[in-house]
Amino acid sequence: MKQAYFLTGTDTEIGKTFITCALLQRARQLGLAAAGLKPVAAGTDAAGRNDDVECIRSASNVALPTAIINPYCFKAAIAPHIAAAEEGIRIDFATIQASCATAGEQADLLIVEGVGGFCVPLGVDQSTTDLAVALGLPVILVVGMRLGCINHAVLTAEAIAARGLSIAGWVANRIDPAMSRFAENLASLQALLPAPLLGVVPHLPGGSAGAADCLRLPGEAAFRL
């Protein structure tokens, strides 16, 4: 059985790549061939590498060329539509769709991570929402657990539904370990979001390996022997 998902978040810097890697590691625990893609990334080191892309490559157990994992990588760590404009590049969804098709042929589980939040522009006339629609995948929503997350999560879920996409599940990522009334906020999100909770990930600054044990994949029972 093969599954593929588009992973997005309630904002930037809320742990999308961290959760992408943890879900890939969870898939590997279940004996699956797992691949992650980061079609659009911004910010590179002196060698031209992007940290998020390298983390996803390391968490995957399907070897793919960089051009498949990350078709568009911009040098400056800025909004992707601004970075693309500065480099004179238009992000072509057909290229990203082809990358997903290639990766999907080799993986039991494919996770395609977006950039920033769900409504980030990718050009003058296209955005991450348009990319998600073009790919047509069920969505995994990462909620960065901090003050204001309920509003961000509900608005993002509404934006996803408005594009005719389904939410396969959501993850509560505790980016603020000192968040006041965490349990009450979590309960409110469970009541308000129209999708199952895939796991609550504690604040783990050391890496995503431990986070895999806190998560389950959408439809995980189907993968079990």
pLDDT in tens, 124-183: 999 999 999 999 999 999 999 999 999 999 999 999 999 999 999 999 999 999 999 999
Strands 34-37 and 121-123: unpaired
Average pLDDT over the chain, rounded to an integer: 94
3-state secondary structure of 201: strand
The total number of residues shown for the chain amounts to 225
The residues facing 185 across adjacent strands are none
Q: What percent of the chain has pLDDT over 90?
A: 92
**CA-derived radius of gyration, the chain:** 16
pLDDT score at 204: 77
pLDDT in tens, 168-222: 999 999 999 999 999 999 999 999 999 999 999 998 766 666 899 999 999 887 6
pLDDT in tens, 43-92: 999 999 999 999 999 999 999 999 999 999 999 999 999 999 999 999 99
Which of 2, 16, 38, 75 is catalytic? The answer is 38
> Is 75 a catalytic site residue?
no
Taking the C-alpha atoms of residue 10 and residue 8, their distance in angstroms, rounded to an integer, is 7
217 residue type, one letter: L
- pTM more than 0.85: yes
